Amino acid sequence: MHNKKSLTKRVLELKKKYFQPANIIQKIKETAKNTALITITSAMLLGYAAPVIASEPLTIKDYIQQNNYNLSSIFYLYLKPLNENGLDENEKKAIDIIANAPEEKQEQGKSLAKEIYNNKGLTPEILTKLENLNLPSEKQEPIKGLEEKVTQEPENLPLTYCLFVAPEHYKKGKGYAIPYMVMLYGVMKNKIGIKDNNIIFAMVNPDKEDFINTPQYKGVNVGVYSKYMPSNEEQIEVDDYNISLEKFLEYVSEIANKADDNDTVIIFCTGHGYYTSDKKEMRIKFRDGYLTDKNYLDPLKKINAKKLVLLQESCYSHLLLKKLKNLENHILIASTNSNGKGFNTPYSEKGVLSDVGVISYILSLNLIKNPYITLNEFIKNSEKKVKEMKYSSFTFIYDNKSYLDEPLIPNNYLTQ
């Protein structure tokens, strides 16, 4: 006679063979199209409660906001490759390390963030380098002790973001665009108190030629200005030595992702402006194309800031800004206007030509004398100054009359 197994024993063997969670999960993986089904079914079979299904993967912006990290806009660009499929644990760890870098190691952290951008993602080698920085892994604590200085909650203190751009190729020993832009950068940083983490400084100088030891820079770096102008290139945090139109618009978009309705955004651009032969479009020249109101307007509209200050220093600049006047919460300042003579150009009768350095010089001069200068005071002072210099006045466009009595450039809260 054959040895018959009991029914109970046969059921147990069949269950062991076919109803193991691992076997069933594997089958589901092969046939299920929705990964959420794997999670739910696995949890049911294993006796666990099914987790809530996330509607979207966790992005860099979400993670940084959740942890109250104060990272500048340049990091949003450098870490952008991590957004592809949502953050994994290693990517979160990398962000934690970078965000918590002590001051003396912030530059190293920034360089490694740039490696992530250049490698189009986080590699084990980059993560190892980050871990070897021996940075603290604790998440940042909210800033304390500022109750008397600001009325906002610590996690939403008012910040100012600056983007300085000179899109023309810098040639050693020629031009004042860079010296005057550096002057404004130094005033914003050392007088107003805006942190380098919130400043993007970009130019076209692919060979990194020395612009500190030129006659033009030395001519500007005198008297009261020398206090605010870097004495060597190491004191200037240049984020991009080969700025393109594409990168410029990316920087604008990254600032839009970072700034909220409690912040101020300042964008300063100096360069060559052109008016098309059909008189329909004003363009700012970049090495890979032209900035126009058509490609500039969309990223600007995404900036949900309390105040957007655009400073355009180029020929025909008023024609560009007039087409951007429908932006919300804006102050637009152009270095040209439609009346009177052009800057240092007596052959111009419509104020369409501009010397580089006009806005950066006059604005720096006013902020050094009075960092709390209001828009109304700056308008009056600039009109007086350009008249002394035999220039024509600037073009000012703003959508809120209350801006006239407010500081043109908000001081950083930590310096109050």
**The pLDDT value given to residue 376:** 93
Reading the block at residue 158, the tokens are 């008012």
DSSP string over 355-375:
-TTHHHHHHHHHHHH-TT-BH
Q: How far is CA 29 from CA 10, 23, 33, 42, 399, in A?
A: 28, 10, 8, 10, 57
**The pLDDT value given to residue 217:** 87
pTM of the predicted model as reported, rounded to 2 decimal places: 0.65
Domain regions of the chain by residue span = 7-46, 60-132, 158-415
* Antiparallel, parallel or unpaired: β 264-270 and 307-313: parallel
Q: Which residue has the higher pLDDT, 60 or 313?
A: 313
- Over residues 284-308, the mean pLDDT reads 92
**The pLDDT value given to residue 343:** 40
Tokens 């509209």 found at: 301
Q: Give the 3-state secondary structure of residue 299.
A: helix
Look at the chain and count its residues. 416
Q: Using CA atoms, how far apart are residues 123 and 115, in angstroms rounded to an integer?
A: 9
Q: Model confidence at 333, in pLDDT bands (50, 70, 90)? A: very high
Q: Model confidence at 26, in pLDDT bands (50, 70, 90)? A: low
Most confident residue range from 210-214, 314-318, 365-369: 365-369
Q: Does the pLDDT of residue 151 top 80, yes or no?
A: no
Question: Which segment of 82-96, 238-252, 321-335 scores lowest on mean pLDDT?
Answer: 82-96
Reading the block at residue 15, the tokens are 């269950």
Maximum CA extent, the chain? 120
Q: Using CA atoms, how far apart are residues 378 and 371, in angstroms rounded to an integer?
A: 11
**The pLDDT value given to residue 354:** 67
Q: How far is CA 411 from CA 148, 193, 308, in A?
A: 16, 6, 15
Q: How far is CA 43 from CA 34, 51, 341, in A?
A: 15, 8, 76
Q: Where are the alpha helices (DSSP H) in 203-325?
A: 215-220, 245-258, 293-301, 317-322
- Over residues 154-169, the mean pLDDT reads 81
Contacts of 311 (CB under 8 A, 6+ apart): 266, 267, 268, 269, 333, 359, 360, 363
Helix (H), strand (E) at residue 89: helix 89-99
Contact (CB, 8 A) for 130 and 112: yes
Q: Does the pLDDT of residue 378 top 90, yes or no?
A: yes
Contact (CB, 8 A) for 79 and 116: yes
Q: Using CA atoms, how far apart are residues 135 and 153, in angstroms rounded to an integer?
A: 27
Q: Does the pLDDT of residue 126 top 90, yes or no?
A: no
How many CB atoms sit inside 10 A of residue 57's CB?
A: 12
Q: Using CA atoms, how far apart are residues 170 and 205, in angstroms rounded to an integer?
A: 5
**The pLDDT value given to residue 284:** 92
Contact (CB, 8 A) for 94 and 74: no
Q: Which residue has the higher pLDDT, 320 or 349?
A: 320
Of 264, 265, 280, 185, nearest in space to 225 by CA: 185
**Residue type at 368 in one-letter notation:** I
Of 308, 359, 365, 361, nearest in space to 336 by CA: 359
DSSP structural state of residue 121: S
**The pLDDT value given to residue 203:** 92
Q: Which CATH architecture has domain 158-415?
A: 3-Layer(aba) Sandwich (3.40)
Q: Where are the alpha helices (DSSP H) in 100-231?
A: 106-118, 124-132, 177-187, 215-220
Q: Which residue has the higher pLDDT, 34 or 103?
A: 103
Q: Give the 3-state secondary structure of residue 267.
A: strand
Contacts of 207 (CB under 8 A, 6+ apart): none
Contact (CB, 8 A) for 187 and 230: no
Q: Does the pLDDT of residue 222 top 50, yes or no?
A: yes
Q: Using CA atoms, how far apart are residues 370 and 190, in angstroms rounded to an integer?
A: 13
**The pLDDT value given to residue 64:** 83
- Over residues 386-390, the mean pLDDT reads 78
Q: How far is CA 201 from CA 33, 186, 310, in A?
A: 47, 11, 15
Average model confidence (pLDDT) for the chain? Answer: 77
Contact (CB, 8 A) for 185 and 288: no
